[in-house]
Structure 1
Amino acid sequence: MLPQPLRRIGERLPLPAKELTRELALHDLHRAYLRRQLLNSLLALETPEGELLPDLDTAIRDLVQRQGISGEAELERWRLAQGLTLDELQSLATFPARLEAVTERIWGEDVPGIFLQRRSEFDTVVLSLVRFSDPDLAQELYFQLLEGELGFTEMVEVHARGADQLNRGLLGPVRLKNLHPLLACAAERYTEGMLVPPLDIEGQVHLIRVESLQKAQLDDSLRRELLQDLCQRWLQEQLQILESRLLTQHGEDISP
């Protein structure tokens, strides 16, 4: 559960000074600055006793890779050029790992319930799909497929155009949440190997066969994704509050 002090921190976080606000706006960086300030407020939470600290050597290697730096000497030159102390360099390097840890600590217990609510969104499907602008032709080919007079692969070779031809009539693996809602419904409703009746989507008739549907599992990768999503939702809410305060402050500054 989100600690009380963080629930409306956008109302209390200090705003950048007027001159800094101007500089950030000139370089289109004000939102990035506010985001970082909010994330720093998460990291300011006390670390529970016994929680493992990020491995500094690994964190430094990751920072070097992110910045495109080669070797310790160049890293030291980069640090000095940025005006960073050694402690600030370590803080910067360990930022991603510390953020991941605090995100787990705050929202980790919420993840299983959210996964159960949204589970089908993360199911992945593979479809054979060909689109037609001529609904009569699509209907005729559908019945030929049903009767076994025509194979799907043969239909793809003869009738697929554009992206369908390039992909050899295959779509996926793709998550259901990333599909058009009608395609997602069809993928959930029909079992593997089944033909879907011609489906009109935005003026094109789709002939579809469900090849596979893989049910989502709450593995480490999906867990991290859901945690990041929860963090981003909190971040967006607080950003709106901060930006509203900035507009109000500037309005007061220019008012007669």
Structure 2
Amino acid sequence: MSEPSIHDLSTDATALLRRHNLLGALIRADVTATAVESIALSPDECEQLWSGYLSKQAINNDVELIQHLKTRGLSADDLHWQLELPERVRRYSQEHFQHKAEARFLARKEQLDRVVYSLLRVNDGFLARELYLRIAGSEANFADLAAEHSQGPEAKTKGIVGPVPMRQSHPALSERLRTSQPGQLLEPFNIEQWWLVARLERYEAARFDEATAQQMTMELFQEWINEEVLCMLARL
């Protein structure tokens, strides 16, 4: 008996899923399952995933397992599949997109680079200038002034922000940080209603290592899945 497919859904079932905004999620799961069904894990790997799950859930015997499955509406096969799915996806992504990983990294490097910086923001330009001069003249340290005067969430961290992706900050701030040297105190500048004083603490350039390569392959896999989902939605 073949596995059930999204194409087996009746017109009424499809309409119901679409109305409740669940059709896309179901198609995504079905496309993913179809893609990775040929990826095989060894019996030892499957057993390790299974026993690890049982241990984490404090399931000690068959009676507890049956109850656990019942409360979740799952069969044992369903649970095995769900436990194995992330590793199947990881291997599929590596097999099919590894050759594109470095190119994607280079295209995304600017977004992946991370920075740590000190930030102080106030809505009074004269106060910002005064605080800047006190820091520049070593009359006070940045952390203390940020904790006392900053009007943003960074006040709770004594002005420290990060590590965060460079592009996560406002473009005007990101550009100033990008052209700064670590330890360089930036003169007050205006962004929207705020006056900012900032200092780059350190710059963490993204590296194309094993973890980054895996991240890139997973992103490429998800992009491919998104395209497949859109195509199927258009046909249903």
TM-score class, shorter-chain normalisation, is: 0.7 to 0.9
| Cα deviations by residue, 1:117-155 (Å, 9 ceiling, x for unpaired) | 222322221111110101122123324433444432342
User: TM-score, with normalisation over the residues of structure 1?
Assistant: 0.76
User: TM-score, with normalisation over the residues of structure 2?
Assistant: 0.81
Counterpart of 2:12?
A: 19
Counterpart of 1:241?
A: 231
Structure 2 counterpart of 1:182, one-letter code:
A
Counterpart of 2:219?
A: 229
- CA shift, 1:110, in A, is 0.9
Counterpart of 2:103?
A: 113
**Which blocks of at least 5 consecutive residues in structure 1 are unaligned?**
1-12, 247-256
CA contact (8 A) 1:24 1:30 kept: yes
Match of 2:23 among 30, 34, 48: 30
- CA shift, 1:244, in A, is 2.0
| Cα deviations by residue, 1:55-78 (Å, 9 ceiling, x for unpaired) | 012222455578x56234233444
Instruction: Tell me the distance in 1 between the aligned counterparts of 2:199 and 2:219.
Output: 32
Instruction: Tell me the distance in 1 between the aligned counterparts of 2:13 and 2:177.
Output: 52
Residues 113, 72 of structure 1: alpha-carbon distance in 2 compared, 3 angstrom cutoff? farther
Structure 2 counterpart of 1:155, one-letter code:
L
Alignment of 1:73-152 (within 5 A): 73=62, 74-79=64-69, 82=73, 84=75, 87-152=77-142
**Which blocks of at least 5 consecutive residues in structure 2 are unaligned?**
1-5
Q: Secondary structure at the match of 1:14?
A: helix
Counterpart of 1:195?
A: 185
Counterpart of 1:3?
A: none
Structure 1 counterpart of 2:154, one-letter code:
D
Q: How many percent identity over aligned positions?
A: 24
How many residue pairs match? The answer is 228
| Cα deviations by residue, 1:17-39 (Å, 9 ceiling, x for unpaired) | 21321443465432221111110
